[in-house]
Amino acid sequence: MRIAIIGTGYVGLVAGAGLSDFGNDVVCVDVDEERIAQLRRGVIPIHEPGLDVLVKRNLEAKRLRFSTSTVESVATAEVVIIAVGTPTREDSGAADLRYIEAAARDIGKGLTGHAVVVTKSTVPVGTADRVRSWIAAETSHEFSVASNPEFLKEGDAVNDFMKPSRVILGVDDERAGKRLRSMYEPFVRTNNRILMMDVRSAELSKYAANAMLATRISFMNELSLLAEKVGADIEKVRKGVGSDPRIGPKFLFPGPGYGGSCFPKDTRALIHTADEFGAKVGIVEAVVQANQRQKRVLGERVSSHFGGDLNGKRIAIWGLAFKPETDDIREAPSLVLIDALLAGGATVVGCDPVAIENTKREIGDRIEYTIDMYEAAKGADALIVVTEWHQFRRPDFARLKDLMAQPVLFDGRNIWPSDELRQQGYSYYGIGRPMA
Ligand code: NAD
C-alpha cells in the first residue's frame, strides 16, 4: 500500500518505520528540513530503542523515504496519516490544531484521486469534521476521513507499534474501513484486535485511555502523601492493591508526578472539551491538580531537609527525561524540581544518559550537566533520583557516600532500599514511605 505520513516525530517516524517494514511503500514528511536531511542520511533525531535498525533496514530496501513536501507526497498515496503535534494552546488549555489544519490543507492541495486521510495525532472530538472541511476547501477530489488514535508509549514505541494490544479505527465509510483494516491486519495476527467504531468514539477513546492512566498515577500519588501521614508504606499498599486482578499492577507507581508529551496536555484538552460541551470531568480536573501538587513535592522535601535554605548547596539530579528510555523532557517533573532548587539558591547538576541535549535546549546553562552519574554526585549535598533509568537502580552506595559532601538521598521513584541505606548512614527520603 502507498502511505504518506505527515509529521515525522515520535509517532510519525515509528509508524513510518513500522508500516514500511511490513512491505508498504511509505513516505514520511516533515516541515523540519534539518530533521528530514538527517533522516535521509540515516541519522535518527530521537532516542527510541530499536528504531534505528528499523529505519535503516527500510531505507536501504527503498520502502521508506523522507520528504519536506506534503503536497508532492500525498499525490499517489492511498492512505495519508496525520501525525503532527497537538500541543496545548497557551490561552485556553485546548488542543492547538494549527499544525493539523496546515497539514490538512496541504493534503487537500496535493490529492490527485481518492485517499483515506486518517488522523493519528491525539485530537479533540469533532476534529475529523474540521479536517474534512479543511481538505475540502482545497480539493475537488474524493477522500475519506478517519480516526486512528495511537497508543504507543515512548521508550517502547517500536514494540507497541509492531505488536499493538489493539488498533482502534474510527470510520464513517466502508471504503476507509476496508483499506485501514487491510493496512493493520499484519500487525494484529496474534490477537486479531481491530476495534472498528464511529469517528467520534475513536477520538474520545484516546483521551479516555490517557485520562484513566493519569488518574491511576495521581490517585497513588495522593495516597502516598496520606501514607506518610498515617505511617503506612505506599509500596506495600501498591502491591496489595495491584494484586487484585480487577485492578492490576500497572500505572500504580507513586513518584514525582507524571510528565511527557501526552498525559499533561491530553488531560487539559479533555477538561476543555468537557467545558465546551457543557459537561464536567471533575475527576480529571482533580487528577491535574494532584499532579501539579506532586511535581512540587521533591523540591519542598529537599528545601525542608536543609531548613528552607538552599544557598550554597550543591544538588545532583539523576534523570532528566520524563521517563526512562526516552530523550523527551516535555513537561518532565525534573524541570519543576530544577526551578524550585534554583529559586532556593542551590547549584544543580543534572545527569541523564540521553536527555541532556533536549534539557539544554529548554533551560540552557542554568544548571551543570554530566552524563557520568558518579561525577554528578561528586561534592553534592543531596542526590535526587527523578527518572528510574536502569543504571540508577543499584548504584555503588559506598562509593557515592565517599563522593558526596553529605549523605542525603531523595528517591523520587522508590527504587532504593530505604532501610539498608539508613543503616549505611544516609538520610533517605522516598515517596510515601516511612520517614525513618
Ligand atoms: P512530535 O512533536 O515529536 O512530532 C511532530 C512532528 O510534526 C514534528 O517533527 C513537526 O516538525 C512536524 N510537523 C508539524 N507541522 C507539520 C506540518 N504541517 N507538516 C508536516 N510536519 C509537521 O510529536 P509526537 O510526540 O510524535 O506526537 C504527535 C501526535 O501524536 C500528538 O498529537 C500526540 O499527542 C500524539 N501521540 C503521541 C505519543 C507519544 O508518545 N509521543 C503517543 C500517542 C499519541
The verdict on 218 and 336 lying in the same domain is no
Domain boundary among 263, 293, 323: 293
3-state DSSP of the chain: CEEEEECCCHHHHHHHHHHHHCCCEEEEECCCHHHHHHHHCCCCCCCCCCHHHHHHHHHHCCCEEEECCHHHHCCCCCEEEECCCCCECCCCCCECCHHHHHHHHHHHHHCCCCEEEEECCCCCCCHHHHHHHHHHCCCCCCEEEEECCCCCCCCCHHHHHHCCCCEEEECCCHHHHHHHHHHHHHHHCCCCCEEEECHHHHHHHHHHHHHHHHHHHHHHHHHHHHHHHHCCCHHHHHHHHHCCCCCCCCCCCCCCCCCCCCHHHHHHHHHHHHHHCCCCCHHHHHHHHHHHHHHHHHHHHHHHHCCCCCCCCEEEEECCCCCCCCCCCCCCHHHHHHHHHHHCCCEEEEECCCCHHHHHHHHHHHCEEECCHHHHHCCCCEEEECCCCHHHCCCCHHHHHHHCCCCEEEECCCCCCHHHHHHCCCEEECCCCCCC
Q: State the distance from the centre of ligand 1 to the C-alpha of 198, rounded, in angstroms.
A: 23
pLDDT at 436 over 80: no
The verdict on 272 and 193 lying in the same domain is no
Q: Catalytic amino acids? A: 262
Determine, yes or no, domain membership for 216: yes
Determine, yes or no, domain membership for 223: yes
Provide the residue range defining the domain that includes 306.
295-429
Q: State the distance from the centre of ligand 1 to the C-alpha of 228, rounded, in angstroms.
A: 39
- Could you read off the pLDDT of 32-62 as tens digits, one per residue? 999 999 999 999 999 999 999 999 999 999 9
**354 CB near ligand 1 (under 6 Å):** no
- Could you read off the pLDDT of 222-246 as tens digits, one per residue? 999 999 999 999 999 999 999 999 9
**119 CB near ligand 1 (under 6 Å):** no
Q: State the distance from the centre of ligand 1 to the C-alpha of 28, rounded, in angstroms.
A: 12
Residue having the nearest C-alpha atom to atom 29 of ligand 1: 121
Q: Which atom of ligand 1 is nearest to the CA of 153?
A: 40
pLDDT at 170 over 80: yes
The verdict on 263 and 301 lying in the same domain is no
pLDDT at 184 over 90: yes
The verdict on 255 and 304 lying in the same domain is no
The predicted structure's pLDDT at residue 133: 98
pTM above 0.85, yes or no: yes
Determine, yes or no, domain membership for 436: no
pLDDT at 149 over 80: yes
The predicted structure's pLDDT at residue 57: 96
Please compute the mean of the pLDDT values over residues 63-90 and round it to a whole number: 97
